[in-house]
Amino acid sequence: MAGKYISLTAIGKDRPGLVSAIAKVLYEYKCNIEDSTMTILHGQFAMILILSLPKDVNPKELYLKLQKSSRSLSMSFSYSELTSFAPKRKKLVNPYIISVYGADKPGIVYGISSFLAGYKINITDVQTAVSKSKGKKTYIMIIEAEFPKKIAISKIQQELLNLAKSMNVAVSVNQAESADI
């Protein structure tokens, strides 16, 4: 039975064996990976894990062991003890996908996320990338968001289109299927 929960982050130059090296230490300490996300960003492997630790495992001790065992992999770690834990991701009630495309420049994420926050639209996932084609860079951002139930979608769409025009980007808003993974 779990004694405590922590979030663990790790980042380092991508190479084969990173997940295995980290998972080995977690297994040795009898930790359970409750939730995770892992990706590669510009050649850097990045991972965030939610772990349940046995009652007798000290998070600091686990952190030090991870650092020591992964030294040859040049990984950096950080952790935080969680004061609350929701064991299962809730099903999104009113999910939408917002796609943004345009010339790469600072301020796109801030502009769109600030607009959404103003309407109490909860961003649940964001993926960004820069695509290079024929010498041109196109910024791509895909946002998964949960819209409040009583919100005028047509108004939000129109205001987002106006904002996108002022930022010289294109935006689309589409209702998504609500699914558990």
Q: Using one digit for the tens of pLDDT, what is the confidence trace for 84-143?
A: 766 655 666 789 999 999 998 899 999 999 999 999 999 999 999 988 877 788 999 999
pLDDT mean over 49-56: 94
Closest by CA to 148, choosing from 122, 169, 181, is 122
Closest by CA to 84, choosing from 177, 171, 6, 179, is 6
**pLDDT band at 181; cut points 50, 70, 90:** very low
Closest by CA to 104, choosing from 143, 141, 157, is 141
